[in-house]
């Protein structure tokens, strides 16, 4: 059942012009990587900066935003979700199916972007190890972001802009001002997990959370996102008739 | 419908408001097997009532149940219930077959059964030959029928239809009326909404009249008419001498008025019972033979028009 | 009620157009308007007014106001902090160094709130032009005195004004706070006045550039979320690219050239130039060229929009 819904969702979500645009966007880090190759102080530092600025701060959240809010949100907004919701499928299965597609797509695109861009600049072994760690971190980020934005899209029709404010203001500006907000920032989890797996002694991302803490927090946020999504979907109401 | 039978649909003092707007105002009714029409002008609350019954809206107060179980937050409801919504469009890129098949699978039918059920549903609504085309290319009537096929595919016991005749041409309307009648004869409970009196008159065994969020009347429409004693009943009478008959009738205070129009006589009386007693007697007294006696405002139209007047009924 | 296209004088009540022995029919339907008509200028002004209301969600219920007013408030926040500091300065035991303790000044105000402005533009530009693309509204507008260029000008003007106001208000607040908190008000005002041209210049450039780019992008898709995402990408990603080219790739020339196409970098450069801040040039040609490039992008954006709306089949 999940597979059926996921297949339909994949067709609706990914088989569109927007996917081409997202993939083009995800290619930008790779292009910049080609220019940055062999130019930085050391390969790991180069890879870290490249992936941090272009993938973790841009491609990853924006891809997860677009796919996560559209997976269920576009159907809820245009009304075609009725045909899905008036079926005896358990709400958690619906959420799971949609999440698989959104998170899978985001992980593939953002992870692929990190991988390809990273491989271009990773000319020595430590940097390759770092890139592999970054891909893992990005995939984790894709799953958690997608779950959060999927839940948000059920609660409000403005999930995309709110998600943007979250990533730009909360995870960006505020995190640099108030260190405590790092605990509630998915970006921090991604950076911390990457650093824990492949950061080595260099710690190119600076002061991040402890790896285990980040994993636990990410799992908690993921669980909360799923719980909210399932509950809100079960209580979803059609808008007032014209 | 006896109160003891397992009524399929029960609304118990259900209200629903959106902010300051009360869309449904303390509505209670029960619906059993057969065809019931939910009649009302646009904005009366018909879609809201159907949405509540379909589990898409939560009642602000009161309880809505289908086959004894509450409609809210119960996905299992959809095994027994099918909904044909008015507004919601079918995803345009799916073909008719794909859409109905997807619905069948969502309803829990295994792949083999789903295929045959989808085929059967498409044939029932006469879409089998265009099933391979994307629904975006369908006409409005075809989309309507596709939605109906999707709602029938799992053989539901309860069927809710919101303005099902929208966009259907007369032949399709007749076909759908026949289809719904057949399904009702199989013991299903069918509740459909409409603001077109003609269709409700033709199809519904029982009507629920909803106006400005309130239930204005429930039951067989002729019964409702009879119950409205404060409006006079009008009857057309053709006889051998209308003038003399009129003179004979008007004497009795229960006769409110007579009118000679176009070769016949119109008699207004406070209620049928009185008229039924007085007419033969007046005819005999006037030595007049009656050729035709026919009530002229029994149609749903006049019932409806009367009910939606301000100050009507309760 | 019959609906007859009449030519009655404006403002006169219904006329009896049919009479019979038992009643009259009043023509209360459509009546033509032959009174004075305000011209194109008024139409444009009305559209600008409506656009301003849409930009701030006025007239659309509470939820529509949350994001624009919320972001506007966040932009105001640093100014509130600065005013508080000005006010408290007298209480704090600071010497003459305390004069410049406030981290919030005119020179860095734009930089502090730039991302919020990006989000305002990204959130509200789709609201301004997206709905019209989806509905038939455009065919209604263009059937009247309004030309396509007028429509574009009105929408752009409204968003420019909105962003300029959002950016100027806090700085005006800082001026007020700073002046009123100091013992010699006129002297304080005078010393701040020198910054006013730069403040206003930067605000205008920022408003023009952000509004035009955002609306140009948004005019290509009726779907709000795609437009927002695309606008944010246009603002947020190019500076990352140019920054990386500068630091990682060590190719400052490429970085400076990319910055010419990056609204965000251009506005940083003009800010530095207008306020006379030093620092390495990040944009090829420095501040003045950046300003020219910004103007060029504005012109290009307007041209793109005009062509787009001219080509639209309405």
At C58-93, the pLDDT tens digits run: 988 778 899 999 999 999 999 998 888 877 776 776
Whether residues A86 and B83 touch (CB distance < 8 A) is answered with yes
The verdict on A164 touching C (C-beta cutoff 8 Å) is: yes
Please name which of B29, B77, B35 lies closest in space to residue B187, comparing C-alpha atoms. Answer: B35
Contact B197, B300 (CB under 8 A): yes
Closest CB from A32, A53, A164 relative to C122: A164
Q: What sign for the dihedral angle of Cα A27, A33, A34, A36?
A: positive
pLDDT in tens, B172-196: 888 889 989 998 998 899 999 998 7
pLDDT of residue C17 exceeding 50: no
Cβ-Cβ contacts under 8 Å, A238 against chain B: 51, 56-57
A234 Cα to chain B: minimum distance (Å): 6
- What number of CA atoms fall less than 13 Å from residue B122's CA on the CB side? 24
The verdict on A158 touching C (C-beta cutoff 8 Å) is: yes
pLDDT in tens, C221-231: 888 888 999 99
**Interface pTM, i.e. ipTM:** 0.85
What are C83's two structure tokens? 């005013």
So what's the pLDDT on residue B297?
A: 65
Q: pTM score > 0.95 for this model?
A: no
User: What stretch of H or E contains B209?
Assistant: strand B206-211
Cβ-Cβ contacts under 8 Å, A35 against chain C: 245, 249, 251, 254
Whether residues C226 and A66 touch (CB distance < 8 A) is answered with yes
So what's the pLDDT on residue C9?
A: 39
Residue B296 is given by DSSP the state: S
Bigger pLDDT: B166 vs A184:
A184
Chains touching A, CB cut-off 8 Å, 3+ pairs? B, C
- Calculate mean pLDDT across residues B239-265: 88
pLDDT in tens, C151-186: 999 999 999 999 999 999 999 998 888 888 778 888
**Where does the pLDDT of residue C14 fall: very low under 50, low under 70, confident under 90, or very high at 90 and above?**
very low
- Calculate mean pLDDT across residues B269-294: 86
Whole-number Å distance between alpha carbons of B292 and B282: 15
CA-nearest residue to A74 within chain B is B91
User: What stretch of H or E contains C189?
Assistant: helix C185-193
B42 Cα to chain A: minimum distance (Å): 9
- Could you give the percent of chain C with pLDDT greater than 90? 44
CA-nearest residue to C120 within chain A is A161
The verdict on A174 touching C (C-beta cutoff 8 Å) is: no
**Where does the pLDDT of residue B38 fall: very low under 50, low under 70, confident under 90, or very high at 90 and above?**
very high
The torsion angle over the Cα atoms of residues C45, C47, C52 and C58, rounded to 10 degrees, is 120
From A122-126, B2-6, B41-45, the region with the lowest mean pLDDT: B2-6
| C-alpha angle C260-C311-C306 in degrees, rounded to nearest 5 | 40
Whether residues C226 and A18 touch (CB distance < 8 A) is answered with yes
So what's the pLDDT on residue C11?
A: 36
The verdict on A70 touching C (C-beta cutoff 8 Å) is: yes
Whole-number Å distance between alpha carbons of C55 and C71: 12
- Calculate mean pLDDT across residues B161-174: 86
Contact A96, A3 (CB under 8 A): no
Best mutation target, C225, C228, C237, C242, to test chain A (most A CBs within 10 A): C225
User: What residues contact residue C180 under an 8 Å CB cut-off, 6+ apart?
Assistant: none
So what's the pLDDT on residue C90?
A: 67
Whether residues C233 and A62 touch (CB distance < 8 A) is answered with yes
Closest CB from A1, A79, A90 relative to B89: A79
Whole-number Å distance between alpha carbons of B14 and B25: 7
The torsion angle over the Cα atoms of residues A13, A14, A20 and A21, rounded to 10 degrees, is 30
Q: Which of B18-27, B48-57, B271-280, C179-188 is the most confident on average?
A: B48-57
**Where does the pLDDT of residue C4 fall: very low under 50, low under 70, confident under 90, or very high at 90 and above?**
very low
So what's the pLDDT on residue C278?
A: 77
So what's the pLDDT on residue A134?
A: 93
Contact A183, A209 (CB under 8 A): yes
Question: What is the average pLDDT value for chain B, to the nearest integer?
Answer: 86
A46 Cα to chain C: minimum distance (Å): 6
Whole-number Å distance between alpha carbons of B28 and B30: 7
Whole-number Å distance between alpha carbons of B244 and B249: 9
Whole-number Å distance between alpha carbons of A29 and C148: 38
- Calculate mean pLDDT across residues B141-155: 91
CA-nearest residue to B102 within chain A is A4
- Calculate mean pLDDT across residues B206-231: 78
So what's the pLDDT on residue B3?
A: 42
The verdict on A88 touching B (C-beta cutoff 8 Å) is: yes
B5 Cα to chain A: minimum distance (Å): 26
**Where does the pLDDT of residue C147 fall: very low under 50, low under 70, confident under 90, or very high at 90 and above?**
confident
Query: Regarding beta strands B61-66 and B69-70, do their DSSP bridges make them parallel or antiparallel, or are they unpaired?
Result: antiparallel
So what's the pLDDT on residue C10?
A: 39
Whether residues A39 and C67 touch (CB distance < 8 A) is answered with no
Q: What sign for the dihedral angle of Cα C14, C20, C21, C23?
A: negative
So what's the pLDDT on residue B2?
A: 42
Whole-number Å distance between alpha carbons of A61 and A59: 6
The parts of chain A modelled with pLDDT lower than 70 are 39-40, 240-242
- Could you give the percent of chain C with pLDDT greater than 70? 86
């Amino acid at each position: 059942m999940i597979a059926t819904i996921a297949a339909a969702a994949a067709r609706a979500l990914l088989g569109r012009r927007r996917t081409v645009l997202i993939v083009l966007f995800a290619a930008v880090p790779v292009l910049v990587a080609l220019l940055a190759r062999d130019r930085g102080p050391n390969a790991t530092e180069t890879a870290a900066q490249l992936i941090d600025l272009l993938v973790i701060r841009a491609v990853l959240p924006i891809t997860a935003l677009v796919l996560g809010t559209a997976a269920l949100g576009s159907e809820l907004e245009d009304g075609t979700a009725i045909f899905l919701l008036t079926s005896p499928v358990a709400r958690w299965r619906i959420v799971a199916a949609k999440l698989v597609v959104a998170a899978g797509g985001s992980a593939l695109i953002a992870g692929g972007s990190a991988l390809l861009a990273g491989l271009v600049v990773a000319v020595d072994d430590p940097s390759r190890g770092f890139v592999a760690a970054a891909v893992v971190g990005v995939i984790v980020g894709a799953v958690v972001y997608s779950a959060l934005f999927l839940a948000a899209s059920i609660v409000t029709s403005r999930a995309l802009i709110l998600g943007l404010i979250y990533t730009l203001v909360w995870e960006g500006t505020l995190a640099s001002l108030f260190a405590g907000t790092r605990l509630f920032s998915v970006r921090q989890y991604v950076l911390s997990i990457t650093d824990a797996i492949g950061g080595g002694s260099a710690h190119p991302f600076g002061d991040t959370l402890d790896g285990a803490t980040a994993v636990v927090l990410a799992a908690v946020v993921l669980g909360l996102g799923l719980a909210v999504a399932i509950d809100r979907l079960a209580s979803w109401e059609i808008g007032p008739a014209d | 419908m006896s109160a003891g039978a397992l009524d399929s649909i029960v609304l118990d003092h259900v209200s629903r408001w959106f902010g300051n707007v009360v869309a449904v105002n303390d509505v209670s009714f029960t619906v059993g097997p057969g065809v019931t029409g939910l009649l009302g002008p646009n904005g009366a609350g018909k879609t809201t009532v159907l949405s509540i019954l379909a589990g898409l809206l939560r009642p602000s107060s009161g309880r809505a149940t289908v086959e004894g179980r509450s409609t809210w937050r119960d996905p299992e409801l959809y095994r027994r219930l099918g909904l044909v919504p008015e507004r919601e469009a079918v995803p345009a890129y799916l073909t008719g077959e794909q859409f109905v098949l997807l619905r069948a699978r969502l309803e829990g039918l295994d792949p083999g059964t789903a295929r045959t059920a989808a085929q059967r549903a498409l044939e029932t609504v006469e879409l089998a030959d265009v099933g391979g085309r994307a629904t975006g290319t369908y006409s409005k009537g075809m989309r309507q029928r596709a939605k109906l096929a999707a709602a029938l595919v799992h053989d539901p016991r309860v069927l809710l239809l919101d303005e099902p005749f929208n966009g259907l041409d007369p032949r399709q309307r007749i076909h759908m009326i026949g289809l719904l009648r057949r399904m009702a004869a199989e013991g299903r409970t069918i509740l459909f909404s409409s603001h077109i009196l003609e269709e409700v008159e033709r199809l519904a065994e029982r009507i629920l009249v909803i106006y400005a969020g309130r239930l204005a009347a429930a039951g067989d429409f002729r019964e409702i008419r009879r119950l409205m004693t404060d409006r006079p009943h009008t009857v057309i009478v053709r006889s051998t001498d209308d003038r003399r008959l009129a003179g004979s009738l008007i004497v009795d205070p229960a006769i409110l008025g007579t009118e000679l129009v176009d070769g016949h006589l119109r008699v207004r009386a406070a209620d049928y019972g009185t008229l039924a007693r007085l007419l033969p007697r007046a005819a005999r007294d006037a030595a007049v033979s009656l050729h035709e006696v026919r009530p002229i405002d029994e149609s749903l139209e006049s019932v409806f028009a009367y009910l939606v007047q301000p100050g009507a009924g309760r | 009620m019959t609906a007859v296209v009449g030519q009655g004088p404006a403002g006169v009540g219904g006329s009896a157009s049919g009479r019979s022995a038992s009643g009259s029919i009043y023509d209360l339907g459509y009546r033509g308007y032959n009174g004075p008509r305000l011209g194109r200028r008024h139409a444009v002004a009305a559209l600008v007014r409506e656009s301003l209301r849409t930009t701030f969600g006025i007239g659309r219920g509470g939820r529509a106001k949350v994001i624009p007013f919320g972001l506007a408030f966040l932009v105001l926040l640093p100014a509130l902090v600065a005013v508080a500091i000005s006010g408290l300065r007298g209480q704090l035991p600071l010497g003459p160094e305390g004069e410049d303790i406030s981290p919030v000044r005119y020179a860095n105000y734009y930089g502090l709130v730039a991302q919020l402005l990006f989000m305002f533009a990204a959130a509200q530009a789709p609201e301004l032009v997206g709905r019209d693309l989806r509905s038939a509204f455009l065919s209604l507008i263009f059937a009247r005195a309004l030309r396509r260029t007028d429509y574009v000008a009105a929408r752009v003007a409204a968003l420019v004004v909105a962003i300029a106001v959002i950016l100027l208000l806090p700085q005006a607040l800082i001026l007020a706070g700073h002046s009123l908190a100091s013992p010699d008000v006129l002297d304080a005002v005078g010393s701040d006045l020198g910054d006013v041209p730069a403040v206003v210049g930067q605000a205008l450039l920022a408003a023009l550039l952000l509004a035009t780019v955002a609306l140009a992008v948004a005019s290509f898709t009726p779907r709000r979320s795609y437009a927002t995402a695309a606008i944010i990408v246009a603002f947020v990603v190019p500076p990352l690219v140019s920054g990386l080219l500068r630091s990682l790739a060590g190719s400052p020339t490429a970085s400076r050239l990319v910055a010419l196409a990056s609204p965000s970098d251009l506005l940083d450069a003009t800010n530095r130039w207008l306020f006379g801040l030093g620092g390495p040039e990040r944009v090829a040609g420095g501040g003045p060229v950046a300003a020219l490039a910004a103007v060029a992008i504005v012109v290009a954006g307007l041209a793109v929009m005009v062509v787009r709306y001219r080509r639209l089949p309405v």
